[in-house]
Structure 1
Amino acid sequence: MTSPSIRVAQHAGVCFGVKRALEEASKVLAEQDGSIHTLGELIHNPRVVQDLEQQGAHVAHSVDEVKDGTLIIRAHGVAPQVKQAAEDAGLHVVDATCPFVKRVQDHARSLYKGGYQVVIVGEAGHPEVEGILGCTDGKACIVSSAQEVEFLDISSRVGVVVQTTQTSKNLREVVDALLLRAREVRVFDTICSATNERQEAARALAATCDLMLVIGGRNSGNTRRLFQICHDVCPCTYHIEDAREIDPKWVACASNIGITAGASTPQGQIDDVLSTLKQITS
């Protein structure tokens, strides 16, 4: 029997913002004495979070949990009021917020101060979205799809920002729905370019495969969107967090296997999946 083809998407795995956050955390662990905490999970990858915990960077779910030492702001960012509270508490704050997320926060703040009704296209409750919301004093509206626009009390002037890992298609649909209801709609397309590249590469690869594996935390929004994109064109698509979840039955009848990975998935986890697949198919 001929071994199946195994290919990794051209753009997959750790993005710039995640890489930067991990580098900041590593620097703190190497240089700082005393207690070290991350405010929330540094990135949405359970394995990485567990590794950081073992190295001494513990997860705190609120500023109040941290009495002293260093507090690392997660890659998704936080509301400005939260960061200020940490500084007021006398903590040494290391801001590992992705620069692209900071850009969204800046646009949201500017729109809010300019008198626009701010609409955030994203997932309510997601850490990144909560941080953006804080830049509008909690006054922005959050929508995850165009269908939700009809439930908004729309003003005449609307300003739109978007969670960095959303799809361009979803943003376009929301904006089209807003244009039917508002006199002025000002849009900042703040989707990270790496997100677009990752999504397009995953879609292109999935279209040529009869099995797709999407690697990343189940709490990772961008990984869940990669799964949906791949599943739409390749029904045999599976979302896994690590190589141990691979079922040999998935591979048994596959001729072309594709792999992609979310923005919080280090190369080592991709390599583990490749190694496991090669063992199964050899």
Structure 2
Amino acid sequence: MSKNLQVTIDKDSGFCFGVVYAIDMAEEILEEDGYLYCLGDIVHNDEEVARLKAKGLRIISHEDLQDLQNEKVLIRAHGEAPETYKFALENNITLIDASCPVVLKLQNRIKTSHDDQEKILIFGKHGHAEVIGLQGQTNNEAIVFQDIDELDQVDLPSKFTLYSQTTKSVDKFYAIKNELLARGYEVKANDTICRQVSNRYEDLENFSKQYDKIIFVSGKKSSNGKVLFDVCQSVNPQTYFVSDPNELTADIFSSNDTVGICGATSTPMWLMKKVKETIEGM
């Protein structure tokens, strides 16, 4: 028996311009050449990666890159460390650079700070592609931390410059800055969080309040997905995280529920539409 669910997709959810730019670039080359190497997942969404792989995208690691010569390789929106460019030059690899302009600007700022002999802290996720690229600008000397508690184990200089991965929580960044100031450090803080991400907080809060249930669609690897899911759940406890329509079960919904679907900046619109169709069929 149909549950008569009213399902709406958030029109502002989905790919940010950095991801759109990288995917458009990849699709253009795939159409011309039939294949293209990409350094790491082009986007933190397995379903979108699978769609592009079917068109000829070949995802490679930094180790795989060492074996390539005379090929084209796409650098995704997350950006890369200077060593990658150097290696490409030495091995006649053409880099198709789809680094997000917001990330590139941040890389340049961090490099300038490092060149000016500033001690650098980066609020970001360990091992995240963007963070590896940022750390590369400092000769890997920057201190990366996900949580302020991690810094209890670190012998910090009395004065340093603080940066953030572009997809982190603005509130958390400022809470960290204030706590470090309260601890007596001299902190030169740079809010380098992408506004296309942070402006979504308020939009998603408003969206999430309007429905009985919220289905948040995102890849499990997406940092930004984790932050935005928390935003939705904070205003609507009936928020569910799914990466694939198959993860949905009918018992989530009650008859006549209103359901809102939204997602991360790495979630494709076609996937949210697929989730909508699945829910409407329940």
Q: Does 1:235 align with 2:237?
A: yes
For residues 107-157 of structure 1, the C-alpha deviation after alignment (integer angstroms, 9 at most, x for no partner) is 111111112111111101111111100011000011112333333322233
For residues 189-242 of structure 1, the C-alpha deviation after alignment (integer angstroms, 9 at most, x for no partner) is 111111012222222222343311111111111112222222233222221123
Name the CA distance, whole Å, in 1 between partners of 2:184 and 2:114. 16
For the residue of structure 1 that corresponds to 2:14, the secondary structure is coil
Name the CA distance, whole Å, in 1 between partners of 2:11 and 2:181. 35
Q: Which amino acid aligns with 1:242?
A: D
Q: Which amino acid aligns with 1:57?
A: L
For the residue of structure 1 that corresponds to 2:121, the secondary structure is strand
Return the offset for 1:2.
8.2
Alignment of 1:68-87 (within 5 A): 68-87=70-89
Return the offset for 1:161.
1.3
Counterpart of 2:24 in structure 1 is 23
Counterpart of 2:167 in structure 1 is 165
Return the offset for 1:10.
5.1
For the 8 Å contact 1:107–1:161, the answer to whether it is kept is: no
Q: Does 1:40 align with 2:40?
A: yes
Return the offset for 1:102.
0.8
Return the offset for 1:182.
5.3
Q: Does 1:174 align with 2:172?
A: no
Q: Which has the higher contact order (CA 8 A, sep 6+)?
A: 2
- Which sections of structure 1, spanning at least 5 residues, go unmatched? none
For the residue of structure 1 that corresponds to 2:191, the secondary structure is coil
For the residue of structure 2 that corresponds to 1:12, the secondary structure is coil
Name the CA distance, whole Å, in 2 between partners of 1:214 and 1:84. 40
TM-score by length of 1: 0.91
Name the CA distance, whole Å, in 1 between partners of 2:189 and 2:11. 29
User: Identity of aligned pairs, percent?
Assistant: 28
Name the CA distance, whole Å, in 1 between partners of 2:276 and 2:164. 34
Name the CA distance, whole Å, in 2 between partners of 1:44 and 1:65. 25
Name the CA distance, whole Å, in 2 between partners of 1:160 and 1:254. 48
For residues 32-88 of structure 1, the C-alpha deviation after alignment (integer angstroms, 9 at most, x for no partner) is 47x621001111111121122221120110121434311111211111112221221
Counterpart of 1:201 in structure 2 is 203
Could you tell which deviates more after superposition, 233-242 or 55-64?
A: 233-242
For the residue of structure 2 that corresponds to 1:150, the secondary structure is helix
Match of 1:268 among 264, 267, 270: 270
For the residue of structure 1 that corresponds to 2:281, the secondary structure is helix
Name the CA distance, whole Å, in 2 between partners of 1:46 and 1:151. 35
For the residue of structure 2 that corresponds to 1:112, the secondary structure is helix
Return the offset for 1:187.
1.8
Counterpart of 1:128 in structure 2 is 130
Q: Does 1:49 align with 2:49?
A: yes
For the 8 Å contact 2:9–2:273, the answer to whether it is kept is: no
- Which sections of structure 2, spanning at least 5 residues, go unmatched? none
For residues 243-271 of structure 1, the C-alpha deviation after alignment (integer angstroms, 9 at most, x for no partner) is 23221111225733222111111211111
Q: Does 1:155 align with 2:157?
A: yes
For the 8 Å contact 2:163–2:191, the answer to whether it is kept is: yes
For residues 173-192 of structure 1, the C-alpha deviation after alignment (integer angstroms, 9 at most, x for no partner) is 11112213455321221111
Q: Which amino acid aligns with 1:279?
A: G
For residues 80-108 of structure 1, the C-alpha deviation after alignment (integer angstroms, 9 at most, x for no partner) is 11222122111111111111111111111
Could you tell which deviates more after superposition, 149-158 or 112-121?
A: 149-158
Name the CA distance, whole Å, in 2 between partners of 1:182 and 1:110. 25
Q: Which amino acid aligns with 1:180?
A: A
Counterpart of 1:107 in structure 2 is 109
Name the CA distance, whole Å, in 2 between partners of 1:150 and 1:207. 38
